[in-house]
Amino acid sequence: MSSLTETAEKIKNMEIRGAGRIARAAALALKEEALSVPAKDIGEFNAKMREAFRTLYTTRPTAVSLPNALRIVMRYKADNVEDARRQIAANADAFIAGSEHAVQQIGEIGARRLRDGDTIMTHCNSSAAAAILTAAFRQGKRINVIATETRPRMQGLITVDVLAKAGVPTTLILDSAVRYFMKKVDTVVVGADAITVNGNLINKIGTSQLALAAHEARVPFMVAAETYKFSPRTLLGELVEIEERDPAEVLPPEKRKQWPGLTVRNPAFDITPHQYIDLICTEIGAIPPEMAFWVITEKLGWEIEEPGDEAARGI
């Protein structure tokens, strides 16, 4: 198996998961492909890179960081293979370094919003959200974290592990216990798979329930999102696709057999309307969700393309 197909497989089966990690892994896979793929001329090289783009693009549909990263890495213009290889490798290196730096910056910027003694609820496992929590703790703020289990894949246990290693006092709860605990919470902090042009958040299934419970209890709701999680294509009114995963993650096939007529649904993400979001913490600052349009048009500023458009332009 080539390193590209291996990365694509790992993204599909969630060995590599989390929007930021998926983006960095895809950028690295494109770079490795560019440096190793045999090609007798630039035409053959371009065709093979387009194929690589598509293989990675179709692994998981929701995290917008993936197509954004792929497009950034594939922005090259070369008339010979060596030059093309160099440009793709440099793009990938810059994206990966920038992405890691963005997560750190979000940690610092977001931590300023947390106070000594705060209890913070989080959901799933987000590197950007975890960066905020660990940065606040490193600054000496005595925070407590409430982490949801996050059925069915239990990413909450990854969060528990990250926080335990950083020494942050943490309580693990059932997903269904969110509203029960919300009155003890000072701030909710979650990550993002995508942010639409009107500031809506797409994140792990259950996030919108946290938002609703936070809204009811008047608890601030903060999102940690690098700017490459914002979706340029939503400018055109396009919806972000919500991944629906294998029902076997919810109910093992051997148990399901008992009820032949039973339907099991397993959407992996949901949409939190911008009205329930107080702040989006990005590497360029903490912004209200209404500024998503500005981030997309002014900061990202790249062309809105079909996945095949690169092919049409001959790159």
List contacts with ligand RUB (CB under 6 A): 17-21, 63, 124, 126-128, 155, 191-193, 203-204, 268
Q: Which residues are catalytic?
A: 124, 193
Compute the distance between CA of residue 276 and CA of residue 24 in angstroms, rounded to an integer.
Answer: 29
> Quick one: 21 or 113, whose CB is closer to ligand RUB?
21
Q: Which amino acid is at 162?
A: V
- Please give the residue whose beta carbon sits closest to ligand RUB in the complex: 191
Compute the distance between CA of residue 58 and CA of residue 25 in angstroms, rounded to an integer.
Answer: 14
> Quick one: 161 or 309, whose CB is closer to ligand RUB?
161
Can you read off the two tokens belonging to residue 22?
């998926």
CB of 46 to ligand RUB, least distance (A): 30
CB of 219 to ligand RUB, least distance (A): 18
> Quick one: 193 or 283, whose CB is closer to ligand RUB?
193
Between the alpha carbon of residue 251 and those of residues 189, 242, 262, the distances in Å are 29, 20, 11
Confirm if 197 and 234 have CB atoms less than 8 A apart.
Answer: yes
Return all residues near 20 (Cβ < 8 A) that are at least 6 apart.
65, 99, 103, 127, 128, 226, 229
> Quick one: 19 or 72, whose CB is closer to ligand RUB?
19
CB of 127 to ligand RUB, least distance (A): 3
CB of 130 to ligand RUB, least distance (A): 8
> Quick one: 31 or 123, whose CB is closer to ligand RUB?
123
CB of 166 to ligand RUB, least distance (A): 15
| Residues forming a β-bridge with 178 | none
Can you read off the two tokens belonging to residue 140?
């000496």
CB of 108 to ligand RUB, least distance (A): 15
Q: Which amino acid is at 17?
A: R
> Quick one: 49 or 103, whose CB is closer to ligand RUB?
103
Compute the distance between CA of residue 267 and CA of residue 164 in angstroms, rounded to an integer.
Answer: 29
Return all residues near 27 (Cβ < 8 A) that are at least 6 apart.
69, 70, 72, 73, 91, 92, 95, 96, 99
* Residue 285 burial (CB count, 10 A): 11
Compute the distance between CA of residue 66 and CA of residue 19 in angstroms, rounded to an integer.
Answer: 7
Nearest residue to 29 via CA among 47, 49, 63, 3: 3
284: helix, coil or strand?
Answer: coil
